[in-house]
Amino acid sequence: MKDLVSVCNSIVRWSYSPVRTRSPQDDSRITHKRYKTPLLIAFLGLMGIFGGIFALVIRPYDFLFKWKCVLSEGGEIFELWKSPPVDLYLRVYLWNVTNKEEFLSGRDDKLRVQDVGPYVYKELFVHSNVSFNDNGTINAVPRHPLVWVPELSEGRREDDLLILPNIALLSIAHVVSDESYFTRVGLNLLIRQTKTEALIQMTAKEFMFGYSSTLMTLGNKFMPSWITFDKLGLIDRMYDFEGDYETVYTGEDDVRKSGLLDTYRGSTKIPQWDNPCGNIRGASDGTKFPGFIQPNDTLLFFRKSMCRAKTLVKVGEQVINGLETYVYNFQEDADDNGVNNTANKCFCKDQNRCLPPGLLDVRGCYYGFPIALSYPHFYGGDPILNAKVIGSNPDPDKHKTYMAIQPTSGLPVDLAVRYQINMALGSIKTIANAERFNEMILPLLWTEIRLYSLPDMLAARFRLYLNTLPGVEQAITYFFFVMGAAFLATSVYKFLTSKTDRSYNTRWIEDDLVLNIEKKLSSYKPEKRASMTAKELEVYFSSLVTPLNQELCPDDEEA
C-alpha cells in the first residue's frame, strides 16, 4: 500500500512540471477572444433595437409617401391630378311637365312634373396649361368636356321630346318685374308679338346645351355685356369654364394641402358672396382631397356650378376596392340661408327676401337669372318648396351626396355629387304668359356627378402603396426588435457561460496529459513476469506523464 501511495504522489508531482504552458501574452489573447464574440453579438443586438426604434419614430414609409404625394412635374400623383385616369360620369334628369294645358288654363292649381333620365355623359376632367410657381403653387386651367354615353342612358336619347320650362321667358320676366311700368309694357308687347310661351316642347339636348329663343337673341344683341350667348342651355351654362383658371398647392410646404385650391380666377373667394361664405381656399375640386386626414377633420368641396364651397363631414367608414375610406356627406344645413344656421346668413343677399331652408340663391353665378340650388327632389328642404309643384319624391339613397375618400392619400374612391337646378321666381304676375308661375319654386333638372370605382390597375397600385407597404414596414420593425432582443440574449448567455468554463491553460494541459497517457499505454510493452517492484511501478507511471520527446532524468534511469 505504501508503494502505491508513493507512485500516486509521483504522478501528481510529475503531471504538470514537464508540460508546456502558454505565455502571458497567449493568456491575454485568449481572454480578449473570450470577450470579443459576446460583445460583437451584443453590438448587433443593440443595432437591431435601435433600428426598430428608428422605424417607429421616423416612420420611413410615411416620409416616402408624403414625398410621393407632393405635386412635382412628372410625378405620379401630379399626373393623376393633371389628367385623372378614372371614369367620371354626369347623369342628368330633366323635369318634364305632364299637365301643361291643365295648368296654364287654370284647371290644375299645381304643376305636375316627372323627372326623366338619366342622360349620361362622360366627363373628361383635365387640368391644362399647367405651370409651376416659385411659391409652392401651380397654375392650371380646368376643362370638363362632356361625351355622350348612350349605352348608360337606359334607353334615353338626346332627341327625346319633352315639355320643359322656357327659362329665357321666365328669367327675363323675373328680372324685369321690378322695373318701371313702361319697361314691363314693352316686354309684354314683345312677348305677345313673338308668341313666346312659358312651357315649350323641345329636345332633351336643346334644353341641356342650348335652344333658340327670340328673347335670348335680342338680349345678346342689345345687352351683350349681360347676356353673352344667343342660345340658352342649362348644362352648357353649368359647364362654361371660359376664362377660368385656378391655383393649387403643390404640397411641398405642407403635404396635406397638395392639390387643394389656393385661388380661383386669381382670388381666394368667389365675388358673389361676402366672407366667409365666399371662401374657396383649401377646397378640393374633387380630383384630390387633403392627405393624411384625421377622423374629425371637415373637408371643403368646390364646384363652379355650385357657386360655392360646401363643407363635408364624416359619417362613416367603408372598404372599397380593398382600400379603407372615410365616407362624407354635405353638412346637413349647407343650403340654409341663415334661418337655422346663423353662420349661413351671408348666403342671403337680401335679408328681407331670403329663400326657404334647403334652397340656395345662386343667381349671382347665373347672369342674374333666378337660379337656386337644392338637393334633388328638394330632399331635406322646407315643405313649402313643394307648395305649387307635384312630383317630388325625395329619397336619401338616391338624392343625397356622399364621397368615399381614402384618408392617407386623399384619393376619392367612390362619389356621387347630387344637386338640383331650380328657378326661384318672384312676383311676375304682371308679365304676359308668365302669370301662372308667380312666386313659384320651379324645378328644372337635377344632376349626379358619379365615380363608381377606381380602374383596376389604379386600385391595385394604391393597395400596394396603402396596404402592402405599411405592412412590410411593420414586419421589418418587428423583425428588428425580435432579432435585436435575440442577439442581446445570446451575447449575455455567451458571456455568462464562458466564465464558468475551465481556463484555456487547464483545458490544454489536461487534454495533453490524457493524450500522452494514451500514447504511452499503447506503446509500452512490459516484460512478462509475475510482479513489479514499487520502484519499477514508479518509473513506469512517471513515463506516462512525460512527453514523448522527453527522456526520463538520469537519476530515474539509474534507479
Contacts of 176 by beta carbon, 8 Å cutoff, 6+ apart = 183, 184, 187, 431
Closest residue by Cα to residue 332 from 318, 348, 343, 320: 343
Q: HEC profile for 103-150?
A: HHHCCCCCEEEEEEEEEEEEECCEEEEEEECCCCEEEEEEECCEEECH
Same domain, 7 and 112: no
pLDDT value at residue 18: 46
Residue 319 resides in a domain: yes
Q: Does residue 427 have a pLDDT over 60? A: yes
Q: What is the mean pLDDT of residues 349-364?
A: 87
Instruction: Round to whole Å and give the CA distance between 117 and 446.
Output: 10
The amino acid that residue 248 corresponds to is V
pLDDT value at residue 231: 80
Beta carbons within 10 angstroms of residue 439's beta carbon: 12
Q: Which has more pLDDT, 5 or 371?
A: 371
* Separation in Å, CA 396 to CA 127, 227, 316, 319, 393: 32, 37, 15, 21, 10
- With beta carbons less than 8 A apart as the criterion, state whether 225 and 231 touch: no
The 10s digit of each residue's pLDDT in 516-536 is 656 655 655 555 554 556 566
Q: Which residues pair with 284 in a beta bridge?
A: 301
Q: Which three cell numbers stand for residue 558?
A: 539509474
Same domain, 429 and 540: no
What rounded mean pLDDT belongs to the chain?
A: 83
Same domain, 420 and 488: no
Q: Does residue 340 have a pLDDT over 50? A: yes
| Residues 180-185: contacts with CB under 8 Å, at least 24 apart | 184/430, 184/431
Instruction: Round to whole Å and give the CA distance between 441 and 505.
Output: 106
Same domain, 310 and 388: yes
Residue 273 resides in a domain: no
pLDDT confidence band for 477 (50 / 70 / 90): confident
Lowest mean pLDDT among 173-177, 316-320, 349-353: 349-353
The 10s digit of each residue's pLDDT in 79-130 is 999 999 999 999 999 999 999 999 999 999 999 999 999 999 999 999 999 9
Residue 64 resides in a domain: no
Q: Which has more pLDDT, 343 or 322?
A: 322
Residue 503 resides in a domain: yes
pLDDT value at residue 526: 54
Same domain, 432 and 533: no
pLDDT > 90 fraction of the chain, expressed in percent and rounded:
54
Q: Which has more pLDDT, 23 or 429?
A: 429
Q: Does residue 348 have a pLDDT over 80? A: yes
Q: Which of 415, 438, 454 is the last residue of a domain?
A: 454
Same domain, 417 and 531: no
Same domain, 183 and 227: yes
Helix (H) or strand (E) holding 534: helix 534-544
The amino acid that residue 390 corresponds to is I
Same domain, 436 and 326: yes
Q: Which has more pLDDT, 116 or 1?
A: 116
Q: Which of 394, 422, 454 is the last residue of a domain?
A: 454
The 10s digit of each residue's pLDDT in 387-425 is 999 999 999 999 999 999 999 999 999 999 999 999 999
Instruction: Round to whole Å and give the CA distance between 23 and 17.
Output: 15
Q: Does residue 14 have a pLDDT over 80? A: no
The 10s digit of each residue's pLDDT in 198-246 is 999 999 999 999 988 877 777 666 566 567 767 889 999 899 888 899 9
Residue 539 resides in a domain: yes
pTM: 0.78
Residue 134 resides in a domain: no
Q: What is the mean pLDDT of residues 461-479?
A: 81
Domain span at residue 533 reads 2-56+478-558
The 10s digit of each residue's pLDDT in 41-72 is 767 767 767 766 776 666 767 777 888 889 99
Residue 67 resides in a domain: no
Cα 238 to the center of its chain, rounded Å: 28
Instruction: Round to whole Å and give the CA distance between 138 and 133.
Output: 6
* Separation in Å, CA 105 to CA 110, 199, 425, 527: 11, 12, 20, 150
pLDDT value at residue 551: 46
Contacts of 332 by beta carbon, 8 Å cutoff, 6+ apart = 380
Number of structural domains (the chain) is 2
pLDDT value at residue 473: 72
Q: Does residue 258 have a pLDDT over 90? A: yes
Same domain, 432 and 328: yes
pLDDT value at residue 558: 44
Same domain, 513 and 364: no
Residue 78 resides in a domain: no
Same domain, 92 and 188: yes
Instruction: Round to whole Å and give the CA distance between 298 and 292.
Output: 12
pLDDT value at residue 417: 97
Q: What is the mean pLDDT of residues 326-336?
A: 90
The 10s digit of each residue's pLDDT in 503-515 is 445 554 555 555 5
Q: Coil, helix or strand for 485?
A: helix
* Most confident of the ranges 184-188, 395-399, 552-556: 395-399
Same domain, 349 and 435: yes
